[in-house]
């Protein structure tokens, strides 16, 4: 069974700020969790009904914290209205920028319809950008009527 601290932790993961703070995401459902277990991502905790644990017992790595829960507890910690058989807390993978991108002499950033560019001081930008003209149409604004 889950301790009260674990229940509070799992319930706090419903909010994005706590998921970002802990560097995890929550996956629910038989198919999604089984695919994530096979993907090699680091799984921090697995909360499942007994029938799901029996079916996946031999395929769950030994370093994962597995907690057997009943249907009532799964409803309490789940984010969905009708929880499935399993809930997993998985560490977010870290994305690294390749060295070739960090060594580039120019970078482009698309913001809306405008193109902004920055160059090293040794490289002269094209005439249109040096004069401050934009090659794209102005940003489109959408106005809505109040309800």
> Do 35 and 103 reside in the same domain of the chain?
no
User: Cβ contacts of residue 71 below 8 Å, gap of 6+?
Assistant: 49, 83
What confidence tens digit (pLDDT) does each residue in 88-125 have?
A: 999 998 877 666 655 555 555 555 544 444 444 444 44
Residue whose structure tokens are 């009532």: 72
**Encoded tokens for 20:** 């970002």
User: Cβ contacts of residue 108 below 8 Å, gap of 6+?
Assistant: 115, 116, 117
What confidence tens digit (pLDDT) does each residue in 126-137 have?
A: 554 444 555 555
What confidence tens digit (pLDDT) does each residue in 11-62 have?
A: 999 999 999 999 999 999 999 999 999 888 999 999 999 999 999 888 888 8
> Do 23 and 48 reside in the same domain of the chain?
yes
Q: Does 56 fall in a domain? A: yes
* Residue 13: how many other CB atoms lie within 10 Å: 19
CATH value at residue 65: 3.30.1330.30
> Do 42 and 72 reside in the same domain of the chain?
yes
Which domain range does residue 113 map to?
99-130
* Residue 28: how many other CB atoms lie within 10 Å: 18
**Encoded tokens for 104:** 């580039």
């Amino acid at each position: 069974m889950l301790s009260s601290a674990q229940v509070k932790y799992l319930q706090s993961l419903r909010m994005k700020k706590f998921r970002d703070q802990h560097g995890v995401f929550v996956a629910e459902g038989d198919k999604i969790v089984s695919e994530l277990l096979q993907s090699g991502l680091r799984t921090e905790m697995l909360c499942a009904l007994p029938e799901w644990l029996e079916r996946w017992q031999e395929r769950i790595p030994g370093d994962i914290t597995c907690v057997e829960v009943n249907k009532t507890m799964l409803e309490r910690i789940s984010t969905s209205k009708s929880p499935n058989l399993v809930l997993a807390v998985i560490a977010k993978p870290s994305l690294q920028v390749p060295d070739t991108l960090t060594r580039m002499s120019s970078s482009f950033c698309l913001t809306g319809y405008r193109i902004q560019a920055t160059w090293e001081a040794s490289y002269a930008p094209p005439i249109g950008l040096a004069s401050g003209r934009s090659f794209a149409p102005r940003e489109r604004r959408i106005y809505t009527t109040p309800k």
